[in-house]
């Protein structure tokens, strides 16, 4: 009897997890990627308008990331 109750509870929990997930996560991931791409473009445009007259006036930092780690662009 206890095994049956445990089985029923586990089944209900599993079904709640499976059907509780919505497909909106894919949409939000796509929207998030578009927003991040837009922000990256804006950052690159701001960086390209540099105010330094000579290279020695400017300093730089790494921007982005690679799958193995480290900067994507310097």
Q: What is the pLDDT along the chain (74 residues), one digit of tens a residue?
A: 777 888 888 888 888 887 776 555 666 888 889 999 999 999 888 877 767 777 777 776 666 666 566 666 65
| Assessment of whether the complete model's pTM goes beyond 0.95 | no
Tell me whether residue 11 is in a domain.
Answer: yes
Query: What is the residue range of 11's domain?
Result: 2-48
Q: Which of 52, 73, 48 is nearest to 63 (CA)?
A: 73
| 73: helix, strand or coil | strand
Which residue is it, tokens 């000579």? 54
Tell me whether residue 31 is in a domain.
Answer: yes
CA atoms of 12 and 74, how far apart (whole Å): 52
Tell me whether residue 7 is in a domain.
Answer: yes
Tell me whether residue 25 is in a domain.
Answer: yes
Quote the pLDDT of residue 17. Answer: 80
């Amino acid at each position: 009897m206890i095994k049956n109750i445990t089985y029923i509870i586990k089944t209900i929990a599993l079904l709640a997890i499976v059907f509780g997930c919505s497909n909106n996560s894919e949409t939000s991931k796509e929207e998030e990627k578009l927003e991040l791409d837009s922000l990256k473009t804006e950052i690159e445009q701001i960086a390209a308008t540099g105010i330094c007259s000579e290279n020695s006036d400017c300093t730089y930092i790494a921007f982005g990331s690679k799958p193995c780690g480290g900067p994507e662009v310097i």
